[in-house]
A and B are shown apart, each in its own frame.
Chain A
Amino acid sequence: MGILEVTNVNKRFGGLQALSNVNLDIPAGTVHAIIGPNGAGKSTLLNCLVGKLIPDTGTVMFDGQSVLGRKPYEINQMGISRVFQTPEIFGDLSVMENMLIPCFAKRDGVFRMHSIESIANEHEIVERAEHMLEEVNMADKKDMIASSMSRGDKRRLEMAMCLVQEPKLLLLDEPTAGMARADTNNTIGLLKEIHEKRDITMVIIEHDMHVVFSLAKRITVLAQGSPLVEDLPENIKGHPKVKEAYLGEAA
């Protein structure tokens, strides 16, 4: 039994079948990649996992519990963090504050009213945030306003915000899109390191095959809402169905 089990999930948008009969069983501690052409339904699938969308049919079980019908913040508290396709960060806040918020959420839960305490006195939390920023090489940017950074830095910040929560499952929607080659390699290194050190299960959506093949233990190919194949990376590379799916899109 995997940490994440998706069974028979269907989702329609009007006349468009965005997901049809998707099944996934992801064992704990692995890195699973989902690839597929644009519009295949990859982001939609993630949305169904984090409570942004509710599938029309099917079940999504995480860690033995259903996530369906729960609010996004409840699902996050269960241990699922998500990096978005377009970075979602607190743009008006400093990088350090961006890091502090998930640290507080991790310690204090959905809501806690500490309105008089000073942040500076929360040594443990400040230290954690600083440590994570060092890990992603952003310690020098800690006083910058988040929205003033480059797209790649925003992504890295968002990833750090998710990682500092030490989720059981990390969902990454194209984590390296818009990054320079060097940054992409850094990110791959970081994710590898995190995965080895913390034993986090990861689901990665990615167009960059270099990233996919450096990280993934298994790959699912999605096309027009339904999973074509699920296999080891080396078997996916030359798979005829996969080529067809990508070429079919190009034609």
Chain B
Amino acid sequence: MLGLNTRDASLFVIVVILALTAPFLLNPFPAESSLAQFNAGYPDLMQRFAIYGIFAIGFNILFGLTGYLSFGHAAFLGVGSYAAVWMFKLLNYNILPAVILSVIVGGLFALLIGYISLRRSGIYFSILTLAFAQMSFALAYSVLTPITNGETGLQVYTDDPQYLQSADAPSIPHLFGVTMRSTQDIDFGAWSFSFNAGYYVCAVMMIVMFYLSIRIFRSPFGMMLRAIKTNQTRMNYTGLNPRPYTLAAFVISGMYAGLAGGLLAAMDPLAGAERMQWTASGEVVLMTILGGAGTLLGPVLGAGFIKYFENIFSKINENVLHQWFAFLPDGLEDFLVTILYPFVGKGWHLTLGLLFMLVVIFLPGGLMEGGQRIGRIFRKREKKPEVRAKDPEHHPKPSPHVA
């Protein structure tokens, strides 16, 4: 199907179904219940899942395949946002030209930074990308104020030209008249689901980008990128120049980042320099590693995981904790709240950090490896019926694992 083999095709179909039904899946708890705060199915957050999913999928094409660890990808996200807002200011609020320009600008910027940074590999490459991104951040904050509007951030003002804005078109971001903000709320018994135009734009983009990344992974080009990660010496002595391959991967991932930045601006027509900061670059590294670098689905999972933590875990404050443990005797309640409090609310970073450490130590392949291991345990159970049960006295040695 679609030029994919059966395994990839089924993975793709699953992702499509998950993405399209996310408004249901992410709101499993009735709207009025005390668990409703764990619902993630509100437009703003769902958009972020999809957008950062795109960002991480693109990052994975560089890091997962070639092993070149960029610490500056937020720069491309940032320029993508700026490009989109400029299109809003100059043309109109239609997001299509804005997003197209974001991709182009992201790619060009990546070409420039990649061309220089890829002269080095390993830690030096990482440092170079980090330096470029921090430089872009600093410039956006200060010198480039005429383009970026400095600390205030770039936004659309009523006296902006908007040459193509017609009188009847909406004056917020839209796609051919459908505004990104328009949301249809559907109540279903005690449950409530929101269907948001912006989310579906992002979700469709993510699906397309996911499909593209599968094709890249399975292409000769993708194989070359993995070969670069493994042995550049052999690559050279096989008549292949690794540099254009890594540069192409860098530019592709820059375009993904540019697209993500453009979509962020399309959902909320603002662009600020902080989007380029090193913490933002670090975040996409975390997403990819947490989910599983080099796997197809991992980065999307990682992005979802981190954004969920950032938005849901961070909202659990002391009062909420007290509510949860209200059924316990007072002393015990206070004790539990005191213990748990540092891990939730503003302390969500602590939980995420611990989780990240656990994953890196015990599951170097990320959440995807975790999933595979669980899958393997189940498969083994099916294959091996209990031998010992027949013979309780005599314990045979477990047979050695045959890989």
A contact residues vs B (CB 8 Å cutoff): 50, 71-73, 76-77, 81-82, 84, 88-93, 97, 100-102, 104-106, 109-120, 122, 161, 165
Contact A119:B3 (CB < 8 A) given known A76-B237, A88-B237, A105-B240: no
Pick from B5, B226, B239, B244: contact of A120, CB under 8 Å: B5
Q: How far is the CB of B85 from chain A (nearest CB, A)?
A: 30
Q: What mask results when residues 192 to 234 of chain B are scored 1 for a CB within 8 Å of chain A, else 0?
A: 0000000000000000000010011011111110110111011
Residues of B within 8 A of A93 (CB): 223, 226-227, 230
Q: How far is the CB of A225 from chain B (nearest CB, A)?
A: 24
Pick from B220, B227, B229: contact of A117, CB under 8 Å: B220
The answer on a CB contact under 8 Å between A92 and B221 is no
Q: How far is the CB of B151 from chain A (nearest CB, A)?
A: 40
Contact A119:B218 (CB < 8 A) given known A89-B234, A90-B227: yes
Q: How far is the CB of A105 from chain B (nearest CB, A)?
A: 4
Q: Is B241 an interface residue (CB 8 A)?
A: yes
Residues of B within 8 A of A81 (CB): 237
The answer on a CB contact under 8 Å between B219 and A105 is no
Q: Is B33 an interface residue (CB 8 A)?
A: no
Q: List 20 A-B contacts (CB under 8 A).
A: A50-B237, A73-B236, A84-B237, A88-B237, A89-B231, A89-B234, A90-B226, A90-B234, A92-B230, A100-B223, A101-B227, A111-B240, A114-B220, A116-B216, A119-B218, A119-B219, A122-B220, A161-B234, A165-B238, A165-B239
Residues of A within 8 A of B223 (CB): 93, 97, 100-101, 119
Query: When chains A and B are docked, how far (Å) is the Cα of A51 from the Cα of B241?
Result: 14
The answer on a CB contact under 8 Å between A106 and B218 is no
Q: How far is the CB of B5 from chain A (nearest CB, A)?
A: 7
Q: How far is the CB of B234 from chain A (nearest CB, A)?
A: 4
- SS class, residues of chain B in contact with chain A: helix
Q: Is B245 an interface residue (CB 8 A)?
A: yes
Query: When chains A and B are docked, how far (Å) is the Cα of A209 from the Cα of B279?
Result: 61
The answer on a CB contact under 8 Å between B216 and A115 is yes
The answer on a CB contact under 8 Å between A92 and B219 is no
Q: Which residue of A lies closest to B223 (CB)?
A: A97
Query: When chains A and B are docked, how far (Å) is the Cα of A161 from the Cα of B233?
Result: 14
Q: How far is the CB of A93 from chain B (nearest CB, A)?
A: 6
The answer on a CB contact under 8 Å between A119 and B220 is yes
Query: When chains A and B are docked, how far (Å) is the Cα of A214 from the Cα of B9?
Result: 53
Contact A72:B230 (CB < 8 A) given known A114-B221, A115-B216: no
Query: When chains A and B are docked, how far (Å) is the Cα of A158 from the Cα of B3?
Result: 31
Residues of A within 8 A of B236 (CB): 71-73, 76
Residues of B within 8 A of A104 (CB): 220, 224
Pick from B221, B229, B244: contact of A115, CB under 8 Å: B221
Q: How far is the CB of A115 from chain B (nearest CB, A)?
A: 4
Contact A102:B215 (CB < 8 A) given known A91-B231, A93-B230, A113-B248: no
- SS class, residues of chain A in contact with chain B: loop
Query: When chains A and B are docked, how far (Å) is the Cα of A140 from the Cα of B186?
Result: 57
Residues of B within 8 A of A119 (CB): 218-220, 223
Residues of B within 8 A of A90 (CB): 226-227, 230-231, 234
Residues of A within 8 A of B5 (CB): 120
The answer on a CB contact under 8 Å between B218 and A115 is no
Q: How far is the CB of A129 from chain B (nearest CB, A)?
A: 12
Contact A101:B230 (CB < 8 A) given known A93-B223, A116-B215: no
Query: When chains A and B are docked, how far (Å) is the Cα of A92 from the Cα of B248?
Result: 21
Q: Which residue of A lies closest to B244 (CB)?
A: A111
The answer on a CB contact under 8 Å between B239 and A110 is yes
Residues of A within 8 A of B240 (CB): 73, 101, 105, 110-111
The answer on a CB contact under 8 Å between A161 and B238 is yes
The answer on a CB contact under 8 Å between A76 and B3 is no
Contact A92:B220 (CB < 8 A) given known A109-B239, A118-B3: no
Residues of A within 8 A of B248 (CB): 113, 115
Residues of B within 8 A of A91 (CB): 230-231
Further contacts, 7 of them, CB under 8 A, given A73-B235, A110-B239, A110-B240: A71-B241, A77-B239, A90-B226, A100-B223, A104-B224, A106-B239, A115-B221
Pick from A73, A84, A88, A118: contact of B239, CB under 8 Å: A73
Query: When chains A and B are docked, how far (Å) is the Cα of A106 from the Cα of B239?
Result: 8
Residues of A within 8 A of B221 (CB): 113-115
Contact A92:B215 (CB < 8 A) given known A50-B237, A102-B238, A111-B245: no
Residues of A within 8 A of B241 (CB): 71, 73, 110-111
Among B3-20, those with CB < 8 Å from A are 3, 5
Residues of B within 8 A of A105 (CB): 238-240
Q: Which residue of A lies closest to B225 (CB)?
A: A115
The answer on a CB contact under 8 Å between B237 and A118 is no
The answer on a CB contact under 8 Å between B239 and A92 is no
Q: How far is the CB of B219 from chain A (nearest CB, A)?
A: 5
Query: When chains A and B are docked, how far (Å) is the Cα of A104 from the Cα of B220?
Result: 8
Residues of A within 8 A of B231 (CB): 88-91
Query: When chains A and B are docked, how far (Å) is the Cα of A150 from the Cα of B371?
Result: 31
Contact A116:B227 (CB < 8 A) given known A76-B239, A110-B240, A161-B238: no
Q: Which residue of B lies closest to A121 (CB)?
A: B3
Query: When chains A and B are docked, how far (Å) is the Cα of A3 from the Cα of B219?
Result: 37
Residues of A within 8 A of B220 (CB): 100, 104, 112, 114, 117, 119, 122
Residues of A within 8 A of B235 (CB): 73, 101
Query: When chains A and B are docked, how far (Å) is the Cα of A118 from the Cα of B1?
Result: 12
Pick from B212, B224, B226, B252: contact of A92, CB under 8 Å: B226
Q: Which residue of B lies closest to A105 (CB)?
A: B239
Q: How far is the CB of A128 from chain B (nearest CB, A)?
A: 14
